[in-house]
Chain A
Amino acid sequence: MMGGRFQITRLGAGLLTSLTVLIALAWVFPLYWGVISSLKPEDEVVRPYIELWPQTLTFDHYYSALTKSLIGLWYINSLATAVGVTAITIFSSMLCGYAISQLNFPGRRYLHILILACFMVPTQTLIINHFVLMAHMHLLNTWLGMILPQLIYPVIIIIYKQFFDGVPKEFREAALMDNASEWRIFYRVYMPMNWGITTALAIVVFIWTWNNFLWPFLAATQNETMTVPVGITQVYNAFGVYYARRLAAAVLAALPVVLLYLFFQRQVTQAITLSAGIKG
């Protein structure tokens, strides 16, 4: 009896594992296909049948993407934008989350509701306003113009608020008894307590910003000011589309994010779990 049930359980587990592997393969195959294709000569890429491994392995497309485009400059633009957005967003969201969670001031609840309401406004609806505003401020094609409209991440504020809500109030009270000022309570007690969550959130904000397309696409009208995701759309030739070269550029664009993810897998998963169910 027990043996039978055990066998059924094992069968179920086996089926579930197979299904998971299948789904994972379905996810990973396009990535694999992209990388492999970027390593094939252009004529192999356009063959009408599937070849899972290149007959001739070539890095020409990478060389070409690196030398014949401004990808180095785009990397710098992407890095500056992503680092700027991450640093400012994380710090300001932490302060805002702390204030809403811990400080008593008039209008605190309304401010909280207002931030929650921001979830209902898609970024796309603000794009024209942002563009006009940045143009009036002569900030198009600048890092600052790229950064400013991307600083709106209400989800980060809410995650911080919830985190600070969860910190036992005795820590704050102990610090008050210790004659600590409000800034010192934040800086010396609360901020060091949340390094784990801050690292995780910083990585996802960096990834989101790095991958962001719409605003950088509008804000950069010159090749020199583009970010990587925008720039790679420029890797084409007047004589037609070179798939392998474009894929090589795409792989180069995704590389920093992939590496970041590989090194900080645990923190990214934590941040995604935290923002699941909140992010609008």
Chain B
Amino acid sequence: MSDIKLSNVSKTFGTVSVIDDLTLTVHSGEFLVLLGPSGSGKTTILRMIAGLETIDKGTLEIGGQRCESLPPGQRKVAMVFQNYALYPHMSVSGNMAFGLENIGLDKAEIAARIAAAAKLLEMTSLLDRYPAQLSGGQRQRVAIGRAIVKQPKAFLFDEPLSNLDAALRVRTRVELAQLHQRLQSTVVYVTHDQTEAMTLADRVVVLNNRHVEQIGTPMEIYHRPATRFVASFVGSPAMNFIQVKTKLNGKKMGIVAPSGKWIALPSASITKGDVELGIRPESINIVDRDADATGQVKIIERLGERTLLHVQLDKGPLIIVQDSGLSKLNINSPVKLKFNVSQISLFGPDGKSSLRSAAS
């Protein structure tokens, strides 16, 4: 039982409200990722759980225990910092032992825990080294080891991969996923990297401008974005947005595609009038006839397994379309495009989704 419950939590810095009435539950054993751009409030939430920021209003429970007034060291959570924060004058084993010495564990127990964690993380040979003698990846491993030895109720990660180079980041990401599978521990993980969020999370909380935009599994977030922000923030390349109008055809509601063609949509609470159609590059097919939009290829990005075409619509904006890796199209080639209706999102003027096609 190591779930984390934030209930009606608010936080202000001076007169600026940073978190307003947040209610969020992290289930026991769940890997929850807080995803958002800089300044979205994700780190503040993590730090409030850790106890490094006070909670102005609301309650926090960790493993069924009220924690909002407890000091950080007594909340039984462990944190891995962005820059690892390894004590430079202590050896690797010294770094791992420090927290255990502070809670008065005996030496034999400390040594046993360090040895177990070192074996798990395959860093037994590093125990006598100092942080300055370690590579970025090894430091990261020690920081995780320092958290593991405490046997905490939950792990808190604050952008732990952002200081690693691209190749190491991918490798460490996989190792983190494996580690979580093995330990089955509760994890709250902050990142602005959507790939990390998509690959690691059981659930993702997308934050923007200090409020929650959407909470869902990575696939829900990707395929059924609740807001235009989520649609644009998650996915690379980003979702395409095209201004369209809704139109009733008999009793069926639909939209008028850029080509003028009417596309029937599953009945839902669709905002009438002007809406924004959101569609991902891989949900647009290049066809010979019956097109929803036509345009001309302006830029071609060949990525090997796929090709990204930047297409200027004849009646609409520049959008990105995904084609096969061996695409035969050239710059200035005219193209006919068809939208995969089941993957269309529609956003009203308030930026909120007014249709979830795939769901209906």
Interface residues of A (CB under 8 A from B): 168, 170-171, 173-181, 184, 188-189, 192-193
Prevailing SS type, chain B contact patch: loop
Across the interface, do B72 and A176 meet the contact criterion of CB distance under 8 Å? yes
**Is B114's CB within 8 Å of the partner chain A?**
no
CB contacts under 8 Å to A, within B61-107, are: 71-74, 77-79, 81-83, 85, 87-89, 98-99, 102-103
Name the residue of chain B whose CB is nearest to the CB of A178: B99
Across the interface, do B83 and A178 meet the contact criterion of CB distance under 8 Å? no
| The 10 residue pairs across chains A and B that have the minimum distance between CB atoms | A179-B73, A178-B99, A170-B85, A174-B85, A179-B102, A192-B89, A176-B72, A170-B81, A180-B102, A177-B72
Residues of chain B lying within 8 A (CB to CB) of residue A188: 98
Shortest distance in angstroms between B133's beta carbon and chain A's nearest beta carbon?
17
Name the residue of chain B whose CB is nearest to the CB of A191: B89
**Is B4's CB within 8 Å of the partner chain A?**
no
Across the interface, B52 reaches (CB within 8 A) one of A173, A180, A193, namely A173
**Is B34's CB within 8 Å of the partner chain A?**
no
**Is B50's CB within 8 Å of the partner chain A?**
yes
Residues of chain B lying within 8 A (CB to CB) of residue A173: 50, 52, 72, 79, 81, 85
Name the residue of chain B whose CB is nearest to the CB of A195: B89
In the bound assembly, the distance between CA atoms of A10 and B81 in angstroms comes to 51
A-B pairs with beta carbons under 8 Å apart, 30 shown: A168-B83, A168-B85, A170-B81, A171-B85, A171-B87, A173-B50, A173-B72, A173-B79, A173-B81, A173-B85, A174-B85, A174-B87, A175-B87, A175-B98, A176-B52, A176-B71, A176-B73, A177-B50, A177-B52, A177-B72, A177-B77, A177-B78, A178-B99, A178-B102, A179-B72, A180-B73, A180-B99, A180-B102, A181-B102, A193-B88
In the bound assembly, the distance between CA atoms of A217 and B205 in angstroms comes to 72
Residues of chain A lying within 8 A (CB to CB) of residue B89: 192-193
Across the interface, do A174 and B81 meet the contact criterion of CB distance under 8 Å? yes
Residues of chain B lying within 8 A (CB to CB) of residue A177: 50-52, 72-73, 77-79, 99
Residues of chain B lying within 8 A (CB to CB) of residue A175: 87, 98
Q: A181-B102, A184-B102 are in contact. List 18 more A-B contacts (CB 8 A).
A: A168-B83, A168-B85, A170-B83, A171-B85, A173-B50, A173-B52, A174-B79, A174-B85, A176-B71, A176-B73, A177-B73, A177-B77, A177-B79, A177-B99, A178-B73, A179-B73, A179-B74, A193-B87
Which residue of A170, A174, A177, A181 has the most chain B CB atoms within 10 A of its CB atom? A177
Residues of chain B lying within 8 A (CB to CB) of residue A174: 79, 81, 85, 87
Residues of chain B lying within 8 A (CB to CB) of residue A171: 85, 87
